[in-house]
Structure 1
């Protein structure tokens, strides 16, 4: 299971691999200070970074994407009174969209 903060997990992976901040920043095409802020949760992680991180550290991209997307959804719904109902409706909409796409 991933840590609560995706940035913490990325830092953990980088440190375990003994990879300098500058090297991962270069792979992600960002500067070191931006990566440091991502790891500390001070800046949002870009979705397009996840496959690079997964490949670099040989981890499951699916887990990274789930953590990333669930945080995005939670952030959007955090203040909604009907958040659970919205999630149920969204699940149904996703099923419909997949079915429609597969026709």
Structure 2
């Protein structure tokens, strides 16, 4: 699931209006609407507040947010899976005890 879709789903589950959530994030409703539709990206700094307001897991929100960022970078490439495998290998080499 894309980050924006996930945020919208959580917002609706928490019975919040877009304007209420946008106000809490110090942005206008149009911007939040664009984030929910995937037309704009939320800022990394919004994730802890979103997690708190939407009663969500911050790590899960961050993971979905970052996955969206990576997807946008590699989606047009002919070998995205291969690219991700190389990155995974590099991460294992750099941080073998964190995985």
Q: Same fold, TM exceeding 0.5?
A: yes
Q: Does 1:14 align with 2:11?
A: yes
CA RMSD of aligned residues (A): 2.0
Counterparts of 2:4 and 2:27, CA distance in 1: 15
**Alpha-carbon offset, residue 5 of structure 1:** 2.8
Structure 2: which 5+ residue stretches go unaligned? none
Higher relative contact order (CA 8 A, sep 6+): 2
Cα-to-partner distance string for 1:1-26 (whole Å, 9 max, x where unaligned): xxx23222212222222223222112
Aligned residues between the structures: 97
**Secondary structure of 2:81's partner?**
helix
Counterparts of 2:88 and 2:68, CA distance in 1: 16
Counterparts of 2:14 and 2:79, CA distance in 1: 43
User: What is the correspondence of 1:33-72 to structure 2 with a 5 Å cutoff?
Assistant: 33-72=30-69
Counterparts of 2:81 and 2:88, CA distance in 1: 11
TM-score by length of 2: 0.79
Higher helix share: 1
Instruction: State the structure with more CA Rg.
Output: 1
**Alpha-carbon offset, residue 93 of structure 1:** 1.7
Structure 1: which 5+ residue stretches go unaligned? none
TM-score by length of 1: 0.76
Counterparts of 1:85 and 1:5, CA distance in 2: 21
Contact 2:2–2:68 (Cα < 8 Å) also in 1: no
